[in-house]
Amino acid sequence: MKKLYWTICIAIILTLGMNIEKAQASEPAQRTIGLHDKVLPIEQTRVVDGDTKVPFEEISKYLYLTVTEENGKMHIEKRDNHMIVDFAKNTTTTNGVERSGTPFMEIDGKMYISVKEIAYSMGFQIDYFRHLHTIRIYRDDYPHMDRVTYERKIADVKNNRKHATSPSDKVTVYLTFDDGPNKFTLMNNNTLEKYKVPATFFFLGNQMQQNASIVKTIHDSGHYIGSHSMTHDKNLVYQSTESFIAEMAEGAELIKQLTGQTAKLVRVPYGSTPHVTSGMKQSLIQHGYKMWDWNVDSNDWRYTDKQADQIVHNVKEGVNKAIQSGDRTIVILLHDRSQTTIALPAIIQWLQNQGYSFKTYNPNEHISHNFHKEPLL
Ligand SMILES: [Zn+2]
């Protein structure tokens, strides 16, 4: 099967005029599309015969659909769900069931798809909030807010949009640096000092033992330090609940010994999904720990020094998306690495220009921020 950029596929389909219904009349009415706890930044929604349509390009990206082409047929997949659109025959086969027609519609030269059809066929559920003109897509096996809480969030987001004097309203940014301490930790610290920005560091136990003075410097500079395990070794850390807790607690103990700071906030290696089991979560809670993941991933580790611009770009894009989806607390994942030290000044300058304020983690004002949506962590 050929991996195909959907853009090319759509261009071909539109050029050939293959069996794509053209919208005769579509209300330009604005609909809000949600996904789990988020509000998706999709702006060009349309309503045709009472059915909400969205640009296929955008929704396929947000739902992480795999779109490929084989023998002139488009395959759309997500986990075990499969849709085959045969443009020549004008049929759509969803999970083995064929129907005539395709789910696509051309509106102003763009391919649109029904939210309802793409969501249900890819194994999602839908919630309607009619008075808020909102449709939420969700999956039962993925953590998400209950209906009432989500409804309140949507009302808040809409209210903020209406009354916001600036998008920077109360946005707080937490810069977080994983995998130190090492020589790049000191470089990052110098940049933070230069711009007077507080941050949060998640250190590795084995590195702390060799770089005790860096740990002290970071503490003395006013940044919070949390444990990121002793070894960072997936097989060792996640071997059992016992090994997991021991790895996190030994790191926290070292921080306490070296700085006097109690380190109750942890960041688990590779993020809490899918590695952290419910037993591990319970153990963290019992031991009084809190666990942070992030909502903006810089993906800095993927790039070389020369590609540092890409890290800045990723942060800008991630922060904009998070804010558009209603987040007001931004936790950015960075690492103590060479390429990150190069990108950091531009990242801070941009965030400051946006008017956002920076904070270091404060255990007295703990905000729950984990992929599991576990409020006790
Ligand atoms: Zn790490």
> Residue 167 falls within a domain, yes or no?
no
SS3 at position 5: coil
The alpha carbons of the chain give a radius of gyration, in whole angstroms, of 24
Question: Ligand 1 is a single-atom ion; what residues have CB below 5 A from it?
Answer: 178-179, 269
Q: In the chain, what percentage of residues exceed pLDDT 90? A: 73
What CATH number is given to the structural domain containing 35? 3.30.457.10
pLDDT of residue 110: 87
Residues 201, 144 share a domain: no
> Residue 182 falls within a domain, yes or no?
yes
Full-model pTM? 0.64
Residues 209, 70 share a domain: no
pLDDT of residue 1: 44
pLDDT of residue 71: 84
pLDDT tens for residues 99-148?
Answer: 999 899 988 888 999 999 999 999 999 999 988 899 999 998 888 889 99
> Residue 40 falls within a domain, yes or no?
yes
- Token look-up 């990108």 returns 343
Residues 278, 147 share a domain: no
At 157, is the pLDDT very low, low, confident or very high (cuts 50, 70, 90)? Answer: confident
For ligand 1, the distance from its centroid to the CA atom of residue 333, given in whole angstroms, is 10
pLDDT of residue 23: 61
**Nearest CA among 11, 117, 122 for reference residue 65:** 122
For ligand 1, the distance from its centroid to the CA atom of residue 161, given in whole angstroms, is 36
pLDDT of residue 165: 45
Residues 65, 196 share a domain: no
> Residue 157 falls within a domain, yes or no?
no
Residues 238, 112 share a domain: no
What CATH number is given to the structural domain containing 219? 3.20.20.370
pLDDT tens for residues 297-324?
Answer: 999 999 999 999 999 999 999 999 999 8
Residues 326, 179 share a domain: yes
> Residue 270 falls within a domain, yes or no?
yes
Residues 337, 239 share a domain: yes
> Residue 134 falls within a domain, yes or no?
yes
For ligand 1, the distance from its centroid to the CA atom of residue 170, given in whole angstroms, is 29
For ligand 1, the distance from its centroid to the CA atom of residue 111, given in whole angstroms, is 40
> Residue 237 falls within a domain, yes or no?
yes
Residues 147, 176 share a domain: no
CA distances from 267 to 8, 94, 227, 273, 333 (A): 41, 40, 6, 12, 10
Domains contained in the chain, number: 2
Residues 231, 176 share a domain: yes
Question: Would you say residue 2 has pLDDT above 70?
Answer: no
- Helices 183-194 & 338-353, crossing angle to 10 degrees? 20
Question: Would you say residue 4 has pLDDT above 90?
Answer: no
Q: Which domain holds residue 143?
A: 2-151
Residues 230, 139 share a domain: no
> Residue 162 falls within a domain, yes or no?
no
For ligand 1, the distance from its centroid to the CA atom of residue 227, given in whole angstroms, is 10
For ligand 1, the distance from its centroid to the CA atom of residue 153, given in whole angstroms, is 32
pLDDT of residue 30: 81
> What tokens does 350 get?
């941009």
Known catalytic residues are 178, 335
For ligand 1, the distance from its centroid to the CA atom of residue 137, given in whole angstroms, is 31
For ligand 1, the distance from its centroid to the CA atom of residue 336, given in whole angstroms, is 10
Residue 96 main-chain phi, psi, to 5 deg: 90, -10
CB 339 within 8 Å of CB 308: yes
Residues 147, 178 share a domain: no
Residues 87, 18 share a domain: yes
Q: Which residue, of 151, 185, 204, is where some domain finishes?
A: 151
pLDDT tens for residues 205-236?
Answer: 999 999 999 999 999 999 999 999 999 999 99
For ligand 1, the distance from its centroid to the CA atom of residue 61, given in whole angstroms, is 26
